Structure 1
Amino acid sequence: MTRRLERAKLLVATHNRGKLDEIRALLDVFGMDIVSNADFNLPEPVESGTTFVENARIKAHAGAKATGLPTLADDSGLSIEALDGAPGVYTADWSEGPNGRDFVMAMARVHDELRATGAATPWRAKFCCTLVLAWPDGHDEVFEGEVHGQIVAPRGEHGHGYDPIFLPDGMTETFGEMDQIEKNFISHRANAFEKLVKGCFA
């Protein structure tokens, strides 16, 4: 049986504003007081794991230990079949440029590497999300979600990260073309959050 979250204040272990806003929207109905690493000037811990769950655990437990608050961490990424699952846990690393994160560059790299493989389209891919909710006593709960689709030419200016090149199955708009409310119904993060809510909030 999963542990219920009873406290009204929750730390979201991220400095990513787009991700924070998405999580706030998903949890808005519960009236949670949501704070982030930036509110406590917390450094980003080294994500030394080789899987999404390992990295999410590192971030969640670091936040809970530093603040004494229940902490939610998300590790997510894009996994592309023709690239043997890459960029995977290195999804954010692919965006690191000389002036910080540059997802235009990262999306171009995805297309360059796919063309280099000679793989035929459609280029199948999935977004993966792992949520870890950690308590200061060391306990945690893990929830995972996925959404499947394909890689396409960049379309749209909404969302964040690789959203403009990901077309979910059964949809005509990329994540970058959808408004946040629409995306939050079908995204990998929404899928994981549905499990989180059933396990720890319901």
Structure 2
Amino acid sequence: MSQRLILATRNAHKVAELRAILTASGRAGGTALELVGADAYPTTPDVKETGLTFAENALLKAHALASATGHPAVADDSGLCVDVLGGAPGIFSARWAGTHGDDRANLDLLLAQLSDIEDPHRGAHFACAAALALPDGTERVVEGRLTGSLRHTPAGTGGFGYDPILQPEGETRTCAELTPDEKNAISHRGRAFRALTPLIHELVG
């Protein structure tokens, strides 16, 4: 018997990435999990990300979907935090250029803002909060991060968002040049959801 677990995103890239992460790290016994994206419930309204932190936004989305569907839901909120910008774009990463989800515009604007910043000062990290919410209101949230530095020009065609300019510590490639398995092994999202997986099995089955 399987338990349906809803991934609170309509971003196809994230659905695939999170499904791979949770499947790979959730093979221990218990109830089998049927992982589906929010598109399986097309009448569920989008949730406004009104929180002031990644954790608050992740919990808002997870609770909204759990309440609307009657199934446990997981959600994440993530973004790029640039040292010299005081942690920005942060929670505004997906709409840094003004239009939510315009990856190229966001990336181009950020590179323009950092055009005069030299390599030693281009430190940044991806941050992710992953949340689990049950229909009864139970909640858990964990966080993960991937630290690195920002390239001056994009490189690679994989991934999404700011992946083409973030080069992880110890790497010579950007996140967009890594294979999906390589990226999942070290990514902020991978770390957060691997930490959340034992809680999913404890609370969901």
Number of aligned positions between the proteins? 193
Quote the residue 1:127 is aligned against. Answer: 126
User: CA separation in 2, counterparts of 1:177 and 1:189?
Assistant: 17
CA distance in 1, matches of 2:117, 2:154: 19
Match of 1:119, as an amino acid?
I
Quote how far apart the aligned CAs of 1:135 are: 0.2
The correspondence for 2:61, drawn from 59, 78, 82, is: 59
Structure 1 contact 63–71 (Cα < 8 Å) conserved: yes
1:52–1:89 CA contact under 8 A, matched in 2? yes
- Residue 119 of structure 2 aligns to a residue whose secondary structure is coil
1:158 aligns with 2:153: no
1:93–1:25 Cα change, 3 Å: same
The answer to whether the 8 A contact 2:21-2:194 is kept is: no
Aligned residue for 1:45? 47
Query: Which residue of 1 is the match for residue 106 of structure 2?
Result: 106
Q: Deviations over 1:4-51 (max 9, x none)?
A: xx9621001101110110001112244521112111012211111111
1:172 offset after TM fit, Å?
A: 1.2
Q: Which residue of 2 aligns with 1:138?
A: 137
1:164/1:175 contact within 8 Å kept: yes
Worse-superposed segment, 28-37 or 49-58 = 28-37
2-structure distance, mates of 1:180, 1:201 = 24
CA contact (8 A) 1:83 1:114 kept: no
Is the 1:37–1:43 Cα contact (8 Å) retained in structure 2? no
The match for 1:77 is: 79
Deviation at 1:129, TM superposition (A): 0.4
- Equivalent in the alignment of 2:12: 17
Write the distance in 1 (CA, Å) between the matches of 2:157 and 2:175. 9
Following the alignment from structure 2 to structure 1, what is the Cα–Cα distance between the partners of residues 97 and 46?
A: 17
What corresponds to 2:92 in structure 1?
A: 90
Alpha-carbon deviation of 1:193?
1.7
Preserved contact between residue 133 and residue 140 of structure 2 (Cα < 8 Å): yes
Match of 1:198, SS? helix
The equivalent residue for 2:198 is 198
1:184 aligned residue: 184
Task: Return the offset for 1:196.
Answer: 1.0
Is the Cα contact below 8 Å between 2:22 and 2:194 reproduced in 1?
Answer: no
Alpha-carbon distance in 2 for matches of 1:95, 1:161: 12
**C-alpha deviation, 1:95, in angstroms:** 5.0
Letter in 2 for 1:55: N
3-state secondary structure, aligned to 2:141: strand
Q: Which residue of 2 aligns with 1:35?
A: 36
| Deviation at residue 90 of structure 1 after TM alignment | 0.3
Query: Unpaired runs of 5+ in structure 1?
Result: 1-5
TM-score scaled by length of structure 1: 0.90
**Matched position secondary structure for 2:174:** coil
AA paired with 1:111? L
1:3 is matched with none
Unaligned 5+ residue runs, structure 2? 27-31
